[in-house]
Structure 1
Amino acid sequence: MIPDPEKAIIAALHHYMPELLTQAGSRVYSQAPEDWDKQNFLVVRATPGGASRQPHLYSTCYFEIESFASSRGEASRLARQSGVAMEKAARENFRYIDGPEMGYLFRFREVNAPSRIYDGLSSKHGDTYMFQGTYQISTRPLR
């Protein structure tokens, strides 16, 4: 079975950005945590679009990585570093295994480079910065 792309992407970010794993847990989420204004973190979100010519063999998806931080420089660094990490994960065919979901990442493309965004969270808090990048990646099951 082709793995859940969000889970595979989060696992790859943990692997290539180990500083996002702390004693308190992961700082990579699929939606902003309740204490979002107290930490620097990433949100990974699959977005509409992307299609596979052979869906039984692989899946192609678009996804966004949003970085939140208390300084503009740190939010920018996290965003750029996460894009580099995903490019490397695809180039190295990062393998993801979670129970019956097993696969690997390949064919990465940056759609929109990370840029500063105001959203519903950070626009109300002048001490929080958000950068967002959009990417495309493919996943394939292990054989």
Structure 2
Amino acid sequence: MPRLPRTDALLMGLLRPVLPAHVRAGTRVPARMPLPFVLARRTGGSSIHPEFLDQAVVDVQTWAPTDEESEALSQLVRDTLYRASRYPQTVIPGVGSVAWFTEAGAPVLVPSDLGDHDTYRYQATYTINTRPDGG
């Protein structure tokens, strides 16, 4: 029986190759935040079919020392997830692919309530349908 993709592994497999070399990415917020940083992880969803199709709600947050860099990283993630869903889909070997993409919440600046710390964070929410790697 095919196994549905681990969404977090799929996200990292798609994003790490396209991010600039100085940008770190992960699925958890590190104890010591490196800047710039991209967080991408599943936060909800359910399978449409337990063998062939999963629907995941994905949270993406970017942190950077400038507003422009954080926004650009957020846009790069958005573009990458969208392009991965287009034919032919990008397949991460041993993991799977994105079969469909929609935006639930566009990238938006999340201001700090504690003042300016020279860190800018954007947040976005997407829904992606994923399929197992057919190989």
- TM-score of Structure 1 vs Structure 2, range by shorter chain: 0.7 to 0.9
- CA drift of 1:8 comes to 0.3
Deviations for 1:33-71, whole angstroms, at most 9, x for unmatched residues? Answer: 2331x42010012112x2333222111100011000001
Equivalent residue number for residue 103 of structure 1: 96
| Cα distance change, pair 117–96 in 1 and its aligned pair in 2 (3 A) | same
Give % identity. 23
TM-score of the aligned structures, taking structure 1 as reference length? 0.81
2:127 to 116, 136, 139: 136
Tell me which stretches of 4 or more aligned residues in structure 1 moved more than 4 Å.
Answer: 122-125
Equivalent residue number for residue 78 of structure 2: 83
Report matched runs for 1:1-143 at 5 Å: 1-15=3-17, 17-19=18-20, 21=21, 27-36=24-33, 38-48=34-44, 50-91=45-86, 92-97=88-93, 101-118=94-111, 123=114, 126-143=117-134
| Cα distance change, pair 80–95 in 1 and its aligned pair in 2 (3 A) | same
Find the residue that maps to 1:134 and give its secondary structure: strand
Find the residue that maps to 1:81 and give its secondary structure: helix
For structure 1, the 5+ residue unaligned runs are none
Aligned counterparts of 1:73 and 1:102: Cα–Cα separation in 2: 32
For structure 2, the 5+ residue unaligned runs are none
Preserved CA contact (<8 Å) 2:64 2:121: yes
Find the residue that maps to 1:51 and give its secondary structure: strand
Structure with greater helix share of residues:
1
Letter in 1 for 2:102: R
Aligned residues: 131
